Amino acid sequence: MKRSMLLVLSVALFSMLFLMIKGERVSKTDILQKGESFIEGLRLVHRQNGNIDWTLTARRADISDKGDKARLSGIEMHIENKDITVSADQGMYDMTAKDLTVDGKVVARGGSYSIISERVKFDGASGRLKADGGVKIEARKFTVEGVGMDADSAGQKVKIRKDVKAIFYN
C-alpha cells in the first residue's frame, strides 16, 4: 500500500513539474513576442563640429514602440572636453529632442570635484543641465549643498537655486 501511494505521488509530482516547466516556456516566449525592443551594451557618441562632444554608454536600452524614446539602465556618460564622467542607475533618452533625463542617484565626477543629485535633465541641444531636487557639490576645499541646480556647459556656470549651505576647509 505504501509503495503504490509513493508511486502515485511520484507520478503526480513529476507531472506537475513537467507542466510547470512547459508553462514557463510558453510565458517566456509570449513576453519576448509582445515586449518592446531592447539593446544590450548601447553606446551613443555625440559629435559637434567633427569632434566627439560626449559618449553615453548603457548596460541596457529598452526602446519604446514608437522608436523615439529609450529607457536606459546602467548609465555612464563621459563629456570629453570637460573630462567629466556622469553615472546613474537609470534614465530616459528622447531620440528626437536629444534630451537625457536620469533618475536615482546621479554622480558627476570631474578632476577634483563631484556633484551628487537625484533627478537630472540634460538638454543635448543647448548643453544645459537642470536638477530640481537636492544637490551636493564636493571638492577638496569646500562642500556646497542646496535644492535645485542649473548648469550651462558652454559658459561653465552652475547656479544652486535655494537653501544653499557652503562649508570651506583649510
The cell numbers describing 44, all together, are 551613443
Express each pLDDT in 50-97 by its tens digit. 888 888 899 999 888 888 888 999 999 888 877 888 899 999 988 888
Place of cell 549651505: 165
DSSP string, 13-79: HHHHHHHHHHHHHHHHHHHHHHSPEEEEEEEEEEEETTEEEEEEEEEEEEE-TTSSEEEEEEEEEEE
pLDDT confidence bin for 134, thresholds 50/70/90: very high
Class of CATH domain 38-168? mainly beta
Can you give the residue ranges of every domain in the chain? 1-35, 38-168
DSSP string, 3-15: HHHHHHHHHHHHH
Q: What CA–CA distance (Å, rounded) separates 86 from 73?
A: 13
Q: Comparing C-alpha atoms, which of 112, 89, 92, 110 is closest to residue 100?
A: 92
Predicted TM-score (pTM) above 0.75: no
Q: What CA–CA distance (Å, rounded) separates 103 from 72?
A: 10
Predicted local distance difference test score (pLDDT) of residue 34: 38
Q: What is the mean pLDDT of the chain?
A: 78
Express each pLDDT in 144-161 by its tens digit. 999 999 887 665 788 899
Which residues on adjacent β-strands are paired with residue 165?
Answer: 145
pLDDT confidence bin for 4, thresholds 50/70/90: low
